[in-house]
Amino acid sequence: MTPGNTSNEQLPSKGTVRILQLYPRDMNIYGDWGNVLVLKQRLAWHGYDAMLLEHNAGDTFPDEVDLLIGGGGQDSGQVVIQQDLQSNAAHLRALAEDGTPMLAICGLYQLFGRFFKTHDGTLIPGIGILDIETHGGDERLIGNVVARSEEFGDVHGYENHSGQTFLGPGVRPLATVTKGEGNNSTDNHEGARHLNIVASYLHGSLLPKNPAVADFLIEQAVTRKYGSFEPGEVDDSLAELARQHAGTRPR
């Protein structure tokens, strides 16, 4: 087969979406750049411009943000960003409650919750946007994941975490695991959904193989800013084939 690229004819832009990546310096070890790139490119394919912004520990938080995205790091990276995240907590909560779409993966997913209680009992406070709590576990949950979501269909990704996350009544699971572990090794929930936030342990990266999630975030951002979203024609046949093959791979 010969996969073609979606044509990039120059049409007038339908608008600009400002995407803020949180902590790319310390929380970017599991291919999170892939998620940013997918948002940028899909916005272009839908006829919109993307402006990429970054916020690292110590930076001044930018004024206008239409879409937020943050990834996973090592435990040491989480320690580095901890204080900065807390000092911006109120602002991030306000943005979330105002409907700003957000994607929080892995480490940032944990820190969007109420707390992360580490293995030795240390309580690392989260910013409480999500009604979840995370407990450090003995076992590391690693491998391919497939999880079924009513909203997005099957979600494909890869997990690598030792934190076990449990959902409170204030959030609903993103999906139900059919292969892999997901949030923890006891229930079959993967990720969390609340307001316009999608939170998940899955990288791999998440968005390339799950364009429905990418387009949800884009649609929310555009609609919130411009009142409506006019999608373009996007050829997702390669993503579909990548999903099919990923689904057949061993854990």
Partner 1 sequence: MSSLSVPLGKAVRAASRLRGGGSAFPGLVVERIDPGFMARALRNLPRGVVVVSGTNGKTTTTKMVVELLQGQGLKVFTNRTGSNFTRGVAAALLGEVDWRGRLDADVAVLELDEAHAVHFVNLVPPTHCLLLNVLRDQLDRFGEIDKTTRLLEQIARKTTGTVVLNREDPRVASIASAIPRTAITYFGLDESLRGTFPSDDELRGATGTAPASDLPADVVLETVDGNTASFTMDGETSTVNLSLRGVYNIFNAAAALAMARVIMGGDVRRAPLLASLAAVEPAFGRGESLVVDGQPLELVLVKNPSGFRLGLKSFDAAGYATMIAINDNYADGRDMSWLWDVDFDSLKDGGVDMVSGVRAYDMALRLKYDDVPARAVDTDTGPALRTFIRSAQGRPKRIFCTYTAMLAIRRDLSRITDVKVVS
Q: Which residues bind partner 1 (CB under 8 A)?
A: 1-3, 5, 8, 24-26, 28-35, 37-38, 41, 56, 74-76, 140, 142-144, 158, 160, 162, 203-205, 208-209, 238-239, 241-242, 244-246, 249-250
Judge whether 140 is annotated as a binding position: yes
User: Rounded to 5 degrees, what are φ and ψ at 219?
Assistant: -60, -40
- Identify the active-site residue in 156, 161, 194, 203: 203
Among residues 91 and 245, whose Cβ is nearest to partner 1?
245
Is 55 a catalytic site residue? no
- Token pair 């999170």 is found at 32
Can you tell me the distance from the alpha carbon of 159 to that of 251, in angstroms, rounded to the nearest whole number?
10
**Within 13 A of 25's CA, how many CA atoms are on the CB side?**
10
- Identify the active-site residue in 46, 106, 161, 189: 106
Minimum distance from CB of 228 to partner 1 (Å)?
26
Judged on CB neighbours under 10 Å (0-12, 13-18, 19+), 219 is middle
Minimum distance from CB of 178 to partner 1 (Å)?
17
The CA-atom distances, in angstroms, between 23 and each of 29, 32, 78, 200, 215 are 11, 11, 10, 17, 23
Can you tell me the distance from the alpha carbon of 53 to that of 101, in angstroms, rounded to the nearest whole number?
15
Minimum distance from CB of 35 to partner 1 (Å)?
8
Can you tell me the distance from the alpha carbon of 184 to that of 96, in angstroms, rounded to the nearest whole number?
25
Cis peptide before 7 (omega within 30 of 0): no
Among residues 160 and 176, whose Cβ is nearest to partner 1?
160
Minimum distance from CB of 71 to partner 1 (Å)?
10
Among residues 5 and 60, whose Cβ is nearest to partner 1?
5
Alpha helices, H only, the chain: 32-45, 75-87, 89-97, 106-111, 206-209, 211-226, 237-247
Among residues 193 and 203, whose Cβ is nearest to partner 1?
203
Q: Enumerate the known binding-site residues.
A: 140
Which residue positions form the known binding site for substrate? 140
Please identify every residue annotated as catalytic: 106, 203
